[in-house]
Amino acid sequence: MQVFEEIQALLLQHKPFVCYVKPNENVWNLLVQQTNEIIEFSNQAGFVFIPFHEGKKMVIPFEGNKFSQGNLEKLEQKSAENFTSESNQKETFENLVSKGVSSIQQGEFDKVVLSRKIVLKEQIVIVETFQNLISTYSTAFRYLFFHPKIGLWMGATPEQLVKINQNQFETVALAGTQLYSENVIWETKEIEEQQFVSDYIVTKVKDKVSQLIVSDAKTVKAGNLAHLKSVISGELTADFQANDLIKTLHPTPAVCGLPKENAIDFILKNEGYNRKYYAGFLGEYNKDNQTDLFVNLRCLEVDNDVVNIYVGCGITKDSHPEKEFIETENKSMTMRNVLVVSVQ
């Protein structure tokens, strides 16, 4: 298919670009930057790529660059391989979770989201892996982002950061994770975790926006996983615009914890690696007066000859270290299940 041939050519030419498909849509969007510079985001209309905490806040502006769209034809599934990770991180991660739980019990914060980087020593076929990603996760925001000075990222995220149309906005409180089945039963820990996120967002915006509506939490499917999700919507005001809302929401408690500042502090001191763009956000900013941003979850980074898969989970006072490790393993399958290995 033409767009995938173009992506292959862009990768060979080392040109910055992003290709993305929105949730439940069958349309590919390709934005190609005409220069190789890093353009820092300062409210330009474009596709933004923003880190979790430290790093370049990037944008590929729509103005002056090449944007194209087209319909996806039926994609053939390429056979995927499941790789084993470089080292057994189980003990390290479970120790980190235990430390998080004891900090919660000591009253430092109510919730913290802890993550790890799974390193797979394999070269993958990027375009075929991306094709698998698109066809496997139709309800997710699927993307492939490349910049020669930043690297290559791809993902299938289930979580909207915010959608804004004129002055109407919609965001979600997504938390709680288990393997999907027809009869999902949520435990108190997961219900509380989702309520934390929802309450936090409402508290932060209720005095600044109008017509605030919060839906009941419902079970949603994301790949092989189930999550609890409620939708929060309202109207922006003259004193509280799109950028104010984005700054208020990012990073959401779903990727760092509560209270936010204490949780981020714990993450930066204890996780032991740089999340880079994992748990940051990405998407269209101010395209035709609409903004459509997603949290960068269920993603991977191609770094020379290795693939880094980023996964995390929400820790509360009731968290069990081994269960949390298993949750991250389950989340990693979103990306592991679509990887196409390069034949040397």
pLDDT digit string, tens, across residues 254-287: 899 999 999 999 999 999 999 999 999 999 999 9
For residue 192, name the pLDDT band (cuts at 50, 70, 90). confident
CA distance to 46, 129, 195, 313, per residue, from 202 (Å): 28, 38, 10, 22
| pLDDT > 70 in the chain, percent | 97
Q: Is residue 280 part of a domain?
A: yes
Q: Is residue 79 part of a domain?
A: no
Q: Is residue 341 part of a domain?
A: no
Contact residues for 88 (Cβ-Cβ < 8 A; gap 6+): none
Over range 317-323, report the average pLDDT: 94
Domain that includes residue 282, residue range: 2-74+89-336
- Check: CB of residue 131 under 8 Å from CB of residue 14: no
Q: Coil, helix or strand for 320?
A: coil
Over range 90-100, report the average pLDDT: 96
In what helix (H) or strand (E) does residue 232 lie, and over which residues does it extend? strand 225-235
Q: Is residue 34 part of a domain?
A: yes
pLDDT at 295: 97
Distance CA 27, CA 189 (A): 38
Phi-psi region of 79 (alpha: psi -120 to 50; beta: other; left: phi over 0): beta
Q: Is residue 57 part of a domain?
A: yes
CA atoms within a 13 Å half-sphere pointing along the CA-CB vector of 174: 23
- Check: CB of residue 125 under 8 Å from CB of residue 4: no
Average pLDDT across the chain, whole number: 93
CATH of the domain at 285: 3.60.120.10
Q: Coil, helix or strand for 60?
A: strand
pTM of the model: 0.94
Beta bridge partners of 152: 146, 302
Q: Is residue 300 part of a domain?
A: yes
**Strands ordered across the beta sheet of 306-315:** 66-71, 27-32, 17-21, 141-147, 151-157, 299-303, 306-315, 111-120, 257-258
Q: Is residue 176 part of a domain?
A: yes
Beta bridge partners of 225: 179, 222
pLDDT at 104: 97
Q: Is residue 61 part of a domain?
A: yes
What DSSP designation does 253 have? T
Distance CA 138, CA 23 (A): 6
For residue 84, name the pLDDT band (cuts at 50, 70, 90). low
User: Residue 259 has which token pair?
Assistant: 């209270």
Over range 303-327, report the average pLDDT: 93
User: Residue 86 has which token pair?
Assistant: 């470089």
The number of domains in the chain is: 1
Kindly report, residue by residue over 55-77, the tens digit of the pLDDT.
Answer: 999 999 999 999 999 999 888 77
